[in-house]
């Protein structure tokens, strides 16, 4: 069975919550979504990360673009990540490794998120 980007995204949200690393995440749809009534709902801008949230206690925004094993990052997604980083957010792209289990992928991604937050904390402490 091959793992999907959606599987990875869901596992990542659960793993980050379970890790108690001070990150609260939620899914962030981008673009427009058509409702069952035929109307449109505007979501985040095209290119926005799949998962977004905050880091406690600092209140920093976190933006996580979740990619499947072979899914390419679009120019809009690269621009979003770069823009969010420039604004002071923790913004990362996390890619599924098809040779590893879903649990291993989620664990690796949690470690990557933790390291990015720790790096940001050290940077701010040094200022």
pLDDT tens for each residue of 26-48? 999 898 999 999 999 999 999 99
Between the alpha carbon of residue 88 and those of residues 58, 83, 115, the distances in Å are: 12, 9, 16
Range of the domain at 112: 5-126
**Mean pLDDT of the residues in the chain:** 93
**How many structural domains does the chain have?**
1
Among residues of the chain, what percentage have pLDDT more than 70?
99
- CATH number for position 76: 3.40.1350.10
């Amino acid at each position: 069975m091959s793992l999907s980007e959606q599987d990875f995204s869901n596992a990542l949200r659960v793993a980050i919550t379970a890790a108690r690393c001070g990150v609260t995440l939620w899914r962030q749809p981008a673009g427009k979504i058509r409702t069952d009534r035929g109307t449109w709902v505007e979501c985040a801008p095209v290119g926005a990360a799949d998962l977004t949230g905050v880091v406690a206690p600092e209140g920093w925004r976190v933006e996580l673009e979740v990619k499947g094993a072979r899914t390419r990052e679009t120019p809009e997604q690269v621009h979003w990540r770069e823009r969010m980083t420039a604004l002071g957010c923790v913004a990362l792209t996390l890619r599924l490794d098809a040779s590893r289990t879903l649990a291993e992928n989620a664990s690796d991604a949690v470690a990557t998120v933790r390291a990015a937050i720790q790096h940001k904390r050290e940077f701010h402490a040094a200022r």
